[in-house]
Chains A and B, each alone.
Chain A
Amino acid sequence: MTALEPNPSSQTGNRKSEEVVVSVRGLTKVFKDFWNRPKARAVDNVDFDVRRGEVFGLLGPNGSGKSTTVKLLLGLLNPTRGQIEVFGHSPRHVQTKSRIGYLPEESYLYRYLNSRETLNFFGNLFHLGKGERASRIEQLLEMVGLSQVHMRSVGEFSKGMQRRIGLAQALINDPDLVILDEPTSGLDPIGCREVKDLILALTRRGKTVILSSHLLSDVEDVCDRVVIYYGGKIQAMGALKDLLATPDAIRITTPALSRETMERVLEIIRRDVAADKVRIDTPTQNLESYFLDVVQKARRAAAETSGATSGARVAAYLRGGAEERPPAEKILERLTSPQAAQPKPAAPVATGPKVDDKKLEALTKAAESTPSAGKPKPATEEKPVDFSKADEKLSSLLGKKP
């Protein structure tokens, strides 16, 4: 997770429900040759449920069965064995499809239509009224940053621009279930970030997202639960937080400390832990955050581009009333603020959900029981009056101690 965004699992957690949107039981798909002999077992006895409001990741190497599973979920392929239910119906149920948005792994769009015509065509397939359609098209084009090139045919677009218009068509119906197959492939880092922000915005409104990808960083940033495929079988499944947790280690991040303080802290730690197992390093921002920073600075310097521009904001109808301002806007605000110009090692401290309360409590007790460690100095002292009162209370408390 980057320093710029809070933990997505904490954002989406309160929107999740137990309502099962997709139910898969014993799903098997065997591709056969001309003589009906089994050729490849793409998916082998797979079971999983996807609940409303969660981001569910399908992970696996190439050819592991992710895309086949997605096609089975969409009714594009018939399963050899097993059962699939999407919103309680078969995936081939026509009315159920009006609640689904799908972005395929390649941009399978009509090359002779321009982006506005493309969205208009798919809006018609969803039986949207003229006014509603026009309004959504405007918002989506603005969101994916293609409003300035809306008259160019899709065949002339770069791969990234085609992905953007593909994403827009997947969202034209304000779907309850969004199935994204490699959504960030071909996108620049800004586009990747916008897609991830969009996924988070959708889940905040209780939408369900199924994300198929082999880009682990994308999955790690947005997914609540994942299944990992290999050879058509599920090798691992569960909440990302549980799968990635290392329960036998903790990490404490603080503002830069003086050498004396560091020595004191290390002295305390070394009483319980071997010296070679303690590691101290300086947090760095990741390459994605740094890249976004550089590009935003260049953009402020008024560089013009004939390609896709950065999407302004998540379309209003997709945001609903779930948030006051879109995440993209928040990111821009953070990037343009003077503090964001340099790496902020203190930023991870601000990510509240990362603090393990039990561990913190245990550490606090340990600090209280060792008077030699002294009282840690607060990072910022804005109100000294409050601290003097606290000192009085502390001295009275210490005075009562034997």
Chain B
Amino acid sequence: MQRLLAITWLTWKAAFRFRLFLVIAVLLLAAVVGLPILIKDDGTARGFTQILLTYTLSVITALLGLSTLWLACGTLARDIEECQIQIVATKPIARWQIWLGKWLGIMSLNAALLALSGAGVYGLLQWRAAKLPAADKSFCANRCWWRAVRRRNPAMKQPLKRKPNGFWRRV
């Protein structure tokens, strides 16, 4: 496990050193924040939520997919091209462990970027929802965001009401 984690850590280090993480993170945040501003919705809560989620999640998927390809090709190809693999391969680590370590590194990077962009989408949704009329706020709270959760948990079927501090509570 120590060897796998060492390779994983190396992948993270390379992503930060070559500013890949920074570039992708900036692109993701720009897409998450910029797209809802550029694209007009129909003014309803349903339309606004649909537009926001559809476009931002599409861009996030595309960017993360591209970055995965970029990293997957680059991280191993660079090691072979610059012959660092010749040193690593002479250490007591199996070839599959090198491959798996790289894969874990790329996947954990993706997970981190996904969490970052997901948090951005959620924050933006909350911020934009605060500006909606009262009826639309209620719709958002009861029909959109908690719908999936409440479907699985009957105890959460009570309607939500927004408190003055901005948080939602069950009434």
Measured CB to CB, the residues of A under 8 A from B are 71, 74-76, 94-95, 97-98, 100, 102, 104, 106, 108-113, 117, 121-122, 124-127, 169
Contact = CB atoms under 8 A, between A and B. Distances in A.
B83 A117 contact: no
A98 to B, nearest CB: 4
Contacts of B111: none
Contacts of A117: 13
Interface string B2-22: 110110011001100110000
Contacts, number: 64
**What 10 A-B pairs come out closest when comparing CB atoms?**
A124-B6, A112-B17, A98-B92, A125-B91, A108-B83, A97-B92, A102-B90, A74-B90, A108-B84, A108-B87
B149 interface: no
Contacts of B3: 124-125, 127
B82 interface: yes
Interface residues on chain B, size class:
20 to 34
A109 B89 CA distance: 13
A125 B13 CA distance: 16
A169 B90 CA distance: 12
22 contacts: A75-B90, A76-B90, A94-B92, A94-B94, A104-B86, A104-B87, A106-B83, A108-B86, A110-B10, A110-B13, A110-B84, A112-B14, A112-B17, A121-B6, A121-B9, A124-B5, A124-B6, A125-B93, A126-B91, A127-B3, A127-B92, A169-B87
A124 B87 contact: no
B93 to A, nearest CB: 5
A2 B102 CA distance: 49
Contacts of A110: 10, 13-14, 84
Which of B5, B9, B92 has the most A CB atoms < 10 Å from its CB? B92
B87 to A, nearest CB: 5
Contacts of A75: 89-90
Interface in B60-95: 82-84, 86-94
A71 B93 CA distance: 17
Which of A94, A104, A109, A110 has the most B CB atoms < 10 Å from its CB? A110
A76 B13 contact: no
Given A124-B2, A127-B2, A109 B91 contact: no
A84 to B, nearest CB: 14
Interface of B: 2-3, 5-6, 9-10, 13-14, 17-18, 82-84, 86-94
Contacts of A108: 82-84, 86-87
A102 B6 CA distance: 19
A122 B87 CA distance: 9
Contacts of B5: 124
A95 B87 contact: no
A75 B95 CA distance: 12
A62 B153 CA distance: 74
A110 B15 CA distance: 13
A125 B88 contact: yes
Given A76-B89, A106-B83, 10 more contacts: A94-B94, A97-B92, A102-B87, A104-B87, A108-B83, A110-B10, A112-B14, A112-B17, A112-B18, A124-B5
A76 B85 CA distance: 10
A75 B94 CA distance: 12
A301 B92 CA distance: 45
Nearest to A110: B84
Given A110-B10, A112-B14, A117-B13, A125 B92 contact: yes
A292 B133 CA distance: 84
Given A94-B94, A112-B18, A76 B86 contact: yes
Contacts of B93: 94, 125
A100 B82 CA distance: 22
A203 B53 CA distance: 67
A292 to B, nearest CB: 31
A258 B109 CA distance: 81
A67 to B, nearest CB: 11
B10 A121 contact: yes
Given A113-B13, A124-B3, A100 B84 contact: no
Contact of B90 (A95, A100, A106, A113): A100
B83 A104 contact: yes
A102 B14 CA distance: 23
Contacts of B87: 102, 104, 108-109, 122, 169
